[in-house]
């Protein structure tokens, strides 16, 4: 480890280790001495040595869990002793690709993961699916605090641009995973841990630029360890991009500030971080007939000007700010006990703005106008739809650990209060509106409490068993008028019991097998209630079986697992979108996902390595029943037809996902990596309709990095990322609307094209 502090007590000499962990003291007389070794996040070592010393002196440091994690995430993380399927991504791997793209793209080469970008470049509105499950079904925590929006249950990474620069590590638990805070995990859990500090002070400047006007500037200030206890870190970031899609621009700003006190038994860490984004809307996609004629067309903001020409409103944007405050206290107690408590508050506020041409007055609750004997019933408007919310609460955990038992008792309480309202900021005709009038307004309130106990117990030398019992209680209500001027009055309460059991058995020192069975339940989100055209949506239940094998040798690490995710009343995407671009979902009584995942890391030669993963799956709805609208040739509604399809594929669930990273290191400090990903065919709805699907695609990225040291600058890192190296045309996401006309299915498919070959280049300077 670099920059570990080494003190020769008797002589008062101090030095630090170099980049390879080596250190030297010169001109030392023969005799006994005491070495003191310290490094933030590890137990201090006192070592008696005798000079002369023959051979290598190898000193191992043991992680100090309390300090190393700083903000304790152990309550939501798993280790190889637990029977769970997971992947870890450390700070070094995150920084290698951090040139401005959103966090999902930092994880793109992990198993079963698919990324997508509205703007086509990974900057702005981006998303990811894991095992076919979208953001509303992926539980995300940051230092154990829920990051998913309480109402929509999604995560909007654009609200926290450049969060990657302030992360220490990420763990992805596929499937149900262990008990965590916030919404239930139905595809995966993603646990984010913020920076834990460094031994030495530094200043870092990260700058990158690239195609489509991409520009990223980041300043990081770190105090290092002060007086053996204190450390501080701050970050300012700005990211700008024009986007591959027309006008899909992004102007993103963020900050991070933390202060920490740590000794051998106590860690107190306070932090505030947040972001502000102004992003031109590009959530509409394009229709199928435009894929070959105008792949970058963006219909957002379109209107016809006074000359009859197509024009675009220049402020068709999302404008949102989000601030996060966290306070974490971790304490080691007498014996083998330790505890953690965290408090959080998030304040979000913002709007999306739209120009509406010839919109009916009735859409805004306005009266018709009579001017000169003419009745005016519509006009042009500029409107803003606002969201103003507060999210606050606390998490806690108490841990007991010895050689046989690792026991955690924990839980959390979270409260969400959100205001939804709309304003008209300009109108062609005034009608009966007043300034600051809200043409709709509703509130949403949600309380979320959970408590759990989980334990790993070594019942014999090679065998450990795992148990995890969680009770979660949720109350959600929303009242008022929604954006369609419909009265809404939803009140729902749920109490869920989520048990998990499993075992891990070491076949030998190099390999182990594991198995687990888990039950998880989750509530519908706000849109599921608001967009429901029939009965109110039901809560979902998932029964998850995981069976795996892990192994390692001198040059090869591997993991293989089988999973079965059996759902009751799963809320699946219909393929359609609501009026704000969010996917509409419906319950299906019986569905499942099953598959195998393989993950390997092979050191082929000393300077050549290969990481590879592949996931093969089946994702089925049993006996899918479709309710489809029927219209006449003039598009007048006639009826709703019921069509029985039998077993069908779940939408947006490719049967094959494969990722590869081949890395060649020709000289010290240089890595050349070819990053490849194959995504199989995906259906846009749940009917297995071949006419509504996303084609498979295979994309390759080239990553080149070179780092070196100078006397004036501690480290200089040069980075180049060429995305979509082979300039492949593909679409990573889409939507579908189907209806019947004269008994025939009519399809309208939408797609989100991604950029061809494009690049990002950066230079990082550490002083």
pLDDT tens column, 616-628: 999 999 999 888 8
Is it the case that residue 541 has pLDDT exceeding 60? yes
Residue 766's closest CA among 705, 733, 728, 718? Answer: 718
Helix (H) or strand (E) holding 300: none
pLDDT tens column, 388-434: 999 999 999 999 999 899 999 999 999 999 999 999 999 999 888 88
pLDDT tens column, 683-706: 999 999 999 999 999 999 999 999
**What is the pLDDT at residue 583?**
65
What is the largest distance, in Å, between two alpha-carbon atoms of the chain? Answer: 109
Q: For the stretch 112-135, what's the b/e string if a residue is b when 16 or more beta carbons lie within 10 angstroms of its beta carbon?
A: bbbbbbbbbbbbbbbbbbbbbbbb
Angle, CA of 478, 479 and 483, to the nearest 5°: 95
Task: Supply 167's token pair.
Answer: 């992360």
pLDDT tens column, 43-101: 778 888 888 877 778 888 876 655 555 455 777 888 888 999 999 998 888 988 899 99
- pLDDT band of residue 579 (cuts 50, 70, 90) is low
**What is the pLDDT at residue 193?**
94
- Return the bridge partners of 548, or none: 514, 561
In this structure, what are the phi and psi dihedrals at residue 27, rounded to the nearest 5 degrees? 55, 55
Strands, DSSP E only, in 429-555?
A: 438-458, 463-481, 487-508, 511-522, 540-552
Residue pointed to by tokens 């190099």:
510
Weakest-pLDDT range from 53-57, 343-347, 371-375, 735-739:
53-57
- pLDDT band of residue 576 (cuts 50, 70, 90) is low
| End-to-end Cα, the chain, rounded Å | 19
Task: Supply 640's token pair.
Answer: 């709703």
Angle, CA of 264, 265 and 271, to the nearest 5°: 95
pLDDT tens column, 237-292: 999 999 999 999 999 999 999 999 998 889 999 999 999 999 999 999 999 999 99
In this structure, what are the phi and psi dihedrals at residue 144, rounded to the nearest 5 degrees? 85, -5
pLDDT tens column, 616-675: 999 999 999 888 889 988 888 888 888 999 999 999 999 999 999 999 999 989 999 999
Task: Decide if 24 contacts 36 (C-beta within 8 A).
Answer: no
pLDDT tens column, 721-760: 999 999 999 999 999 989 999 888 999 999 999 999 999 9
d(C-alpha 248, C-alpha 299), whole Å: 11
- Return the bridge partners of 585, or none: 573
- Return the bridge partners of 422, or none: 385, 440
More confident residue, 533 or 376: 376
Task: Supply 736's token pair.
Answer: 């579908």
Classify residue 407 as exposed, middle or buried by CB count within 10 Å of its CB (0-12, 13-18, 19+). middle
d(C-alpha 599, C-alpha 590), whole Å: 30
User: Domains in the chain, ordered, with CATH?
Assistant: 5-63 (no CATH), 85-766 (2.40.170.20)
Q: What percent of the chain has pLDDT over 90?
A: 73
Task: Count the Cβ atoms, other than its own, within 10 Å of residue 711.
Answer: 5
Strands 13-16, 5-8: pairing kind: antiparallel
Angle, CA of 315, 318 and 321, to the nearest 5°: 125
Q: What percent of the chain has pLDDT over 70?
A: 97
d(C-alpha 250, C-alpha 238), whole Å: 10
**What is the pLDDT at residue 582?**
63
> Measured in whole angstroms, how far is the alpha carbon of residue 98 from the centre of its chain?
15
**What is the pLDDT at residue 573?**
75
Residue 565's closest CA among 622, 498, 619? Answer: 619
- pLDDT band of residue 586 (cuts 50, 70, 90) is confident
Helix (H, G, I), strand (E, B) or coil at 721: strand
**Average per-residue pLDDT for the chain:** 92
Residue 611's closest CA among 657, 550, 658, 549? Answer: 658
pLDDT tens column, 201-243: 999 999 999 999 999 999 999 999 898 889 999 999 999 999 9
Residue 757's closest CA among 733, 734, 735, 728? Answer: 728
Q: Where are the alpha helices (DSSP H) in 504-593?
A: 526-530
- Half-sphere exposure for 112 (CA within 13 Å, toward CB): 32
More confident residue, 180 or 664: 664
Strands 13-16, 31-38: pairing kind: unpaired
Is the N-terminal amide bond of 747 cis, ω within 30° of 0? Answer: no
């Amino acid at each position: 480890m670099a920059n570990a502090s080494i003190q020769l007590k008797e002589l008062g000499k101090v030095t630090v280790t170099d980049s390879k962990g080596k250190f030297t003291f010169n001109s030392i007389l023969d005799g006994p001495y005491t070495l003191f070794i310290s490094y933030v996040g590890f137990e201090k070592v006192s070592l008696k040595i005798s000079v002369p010393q023959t051979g290598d002196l190898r000193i191992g440091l043991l992680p100090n869990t309390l300090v190393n994690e700083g903000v304790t995430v152990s309550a939501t993380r798993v280790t190889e002793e637990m029977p769970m399927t997971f992947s870890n991504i450390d700070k070094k791997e995150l920084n290698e690709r951090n040139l401005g793209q959103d966090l999902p793209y930092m994880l793109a080469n992990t198993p079963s993961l698919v990324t997508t970008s509205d703007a086509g470049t990974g900057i702005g509105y981006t998303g990811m699916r894991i095992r076919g499950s979208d953001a509303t079904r992926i539980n995300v925590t940051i230092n154990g605090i829920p990051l998913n929006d309480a109402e929509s249950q999604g995560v909007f990474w654009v609200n926290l641009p450049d969060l990657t620069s302030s992360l220490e590590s990420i763990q992805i638990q596929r499937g149900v995973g262990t008990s965590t805070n916030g919404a239930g995990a139905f595809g995966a859990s993603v646990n984010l841990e913020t920076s834990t500090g460094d031994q030495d002070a530094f200043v870092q400047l990260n700058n990158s630029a690239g195609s489509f006007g991409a520009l990223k500037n980041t300043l990081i200030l770190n105090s290092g360890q002060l007086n053996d206890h204190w450390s501080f870190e701050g970050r300012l970031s700005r990211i700008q991009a024009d986007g591959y899609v027309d006008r899909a621009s992004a102007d993103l700003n963020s900050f991070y500030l933390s202060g920490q006190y740590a000794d051998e038994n106590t860690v107190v860490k306070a932090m505030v971080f947040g972001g502000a984004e102004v992003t031109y809307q590009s959530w509409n996609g394009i229709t199928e007939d435009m894929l070959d004629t105008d792949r970058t067309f963006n219909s957002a903001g379109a209107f016809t000007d006074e000359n009859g020409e197509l024009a675009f409103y220049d402020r068709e944007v999302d404008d949102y700010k989000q601030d996060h405050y966290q306070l974490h206290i971790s304490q080691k107690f007498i014996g083998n006990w330790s505890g953690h408590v965290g408090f959080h508050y998030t304040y979000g506020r913002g709007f999306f703005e739209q120009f509406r041409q010839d919109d009916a007055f009735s859409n805004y609750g306005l009266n018709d106008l009579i001017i000169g004997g003419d009745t005016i019933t519509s006009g042009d408007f500029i409107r803003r739809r606002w969201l103003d919310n507060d999210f606050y609460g606390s998490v806690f955990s108490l841990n007991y650990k010895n050689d046989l038992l690792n026991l955690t008792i924990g839980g959390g309480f979270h409260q969400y209060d959100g205001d939804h309202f709309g304003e008209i900021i300009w109108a062609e005709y005034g009608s009966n509106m007043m300034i600051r009038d809200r043409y709709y307004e509703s509130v949403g309130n949600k309380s979320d409490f959970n408590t759990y106990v989980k334990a790993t117990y070594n019942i014999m030398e090679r065998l450990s068993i795992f148990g995890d019992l969680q009770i979660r209680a949720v109350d959600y209500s929303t009242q008022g008028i929604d954006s369609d001027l419909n009265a809404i009055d939803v009140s729902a309460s749920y109490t869920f019991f989520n048990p998990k059991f499993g075992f891990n058995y070491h076949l030998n020192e190099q390999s182990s097998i594991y198995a687990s069975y888990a039950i998880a339940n989750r509530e519908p989100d706000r849109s599921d209630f608001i967009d429901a055209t029939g009965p109110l949506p039901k809560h979902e239940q998932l029964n998850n079986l995981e069976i795996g094998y892990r192994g390692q040798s001198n040059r090869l690490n591997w993991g293989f697992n089988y999973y079965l995710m059996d759902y009751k009343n799963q809320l699946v995407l219909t393929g359609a979108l609501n009026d704000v671009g969010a996917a509409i979902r419906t319950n299906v009584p019986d569905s499942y996902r099953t598959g195998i995942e393989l993950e390997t890391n092979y050191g082929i030669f000393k300077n050549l390595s290969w990481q590879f993963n592949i996931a093969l799956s089946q994702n089925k709805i049993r006996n899918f029943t479709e309710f489809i609208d029927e219209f006449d040739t003039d598009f007048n509604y006639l009826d709703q037809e019921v069509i029985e399809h039998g077993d069908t594929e779940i939408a947006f669930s490719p049967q094959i996902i494969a990722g590869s990273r081949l890395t060649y290191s020709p000289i010290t400090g240089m890595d050349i990596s070819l990053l490849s990903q194959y995504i199989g065919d995906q259906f846009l709805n749940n009917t297995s309709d071949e006419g509504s699907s996303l084609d498979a695609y295979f994309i390759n990225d080239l990553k080149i990095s070179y780092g070196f040291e100078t006397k004036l600058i501690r480290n200089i890192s040069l980075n180049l990322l060429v995305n979509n190296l082979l300039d492949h045309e593909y679409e990573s996401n889409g939507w579908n609307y189907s209806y019947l006309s004269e008994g025939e299915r009519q399809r309208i498919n939408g797609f989100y094209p991604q950029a061809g070959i494009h690049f990002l280049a950066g230079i990082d300077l550490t002083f």
